[in-house]
Amino acid sequence: MPQELRGAQDDFTGAEPLYAFNRRIVDATADIAAAYKPQIAFYSALGAEDQLVASIRYIRERAPAALVILDAKRGDIGNTAEAYAREAFDRYGADAVTVNPYMGEDSVRPFLARPDRAAILLCRTSNPGAEDFQDLLVDGLPLYRRVAERAAAHWNTHGNLMLVVGATYPREMADLRNGASRRPVFGARHRRTGRRSRCDSGSRPGRTRRGTIDQLLAQHHLRRRRRGRSDP
């Protein structure tokens, strides 16, 4: 956050710093952004959940075609997962939420129960410690591949499940795209540059209340072409 906004009010009357900062970002990107992904920890650590609510409301006003992804990486037993799902979808009104699949199917199902909302499952992440567990072999395949296979075969009933795959692992990403599943790979990010790779949609794209993921990305690229931009 810019130094001038820390602990200070912005030009927006009554705006708090996080909200004011987010408004600047949304105003600058509303016509080109396919999605916004606020990380909940930075709000809850400051007791600033109200600023997250206000920020998402502002996204809806300024960029109604964009998805809102709540980056929460939730994962817990069934009834707790249900509460986390209500938090993401009812309290914050997110279209999708990042989910940790380590505890298995019952910890993921509540996030997939609503056909018009999506779960984005951690699969092959880009952090340095990812290989500690994700590369362990399970019946001859690395664990992240088993996660992808299980998700595709058993969890994606509504076609609203996606995977997070780090762009620092292009070979693994190619494996997942070409043979592991039939669902979108979303949120691939280079951990050093922060640049996203292309989003790849499977043959059963998830559907949110703003339409299919394929349609959203198509609209996004069309807007960029109209502005004379060719980069993804």
Looking at residue 16, its pLDDT comes to 87
Q: What are phi and psi of 214, to 5 degrees?
A: -55, -45
pLDDT for 169:
82
Low-confidence ranges of the chain (pLDDT < 70): 1-15, 179-232
What is the distance between the alpha carbons of residues 142 and 198, in angstroms, rounded to a whole number? 23
* Residue in 37, 57, 73, 210 annotated catalytic: 73
- Asked if residue 189 lies in contact with residue 196, where contact means CB atoms within 8 angstroms, the answer is yes
Written as one letter, the residue type at 140 is: G
Mean pLDDT across the chain: 81
Q: Residue 205's pLDDT is what?
A: 41
Q: What letter represents residue 218's amino acid?
A: A
d(CA 36, CA 70): 8
What pLDDT is stored for residue 219 in this prediction? Answer: 52
pLDDT for 13: 46
Quote the Cα angle for 90-96-101, to 5°: 110
Q: For helices 78-86 and 105-112, give the axis angle rounded to 10 degrees.
A: 30
- Alpha-carbon distance 186 to 166, whole Å? 9
pLDDT in tens, 96-140: 999 999 999 999 999 999 999 999 999 999 999 999 999 999 999
Q: How many CB atoms neighbour CB 179 within 10 A?
A: 10
Q: What is the pLDDT of residue 166?
A: 87
Q: Residue 147 is encoded by which pair of tokens?
A: 């996660």
* Annotated catalytic residue 73: yes
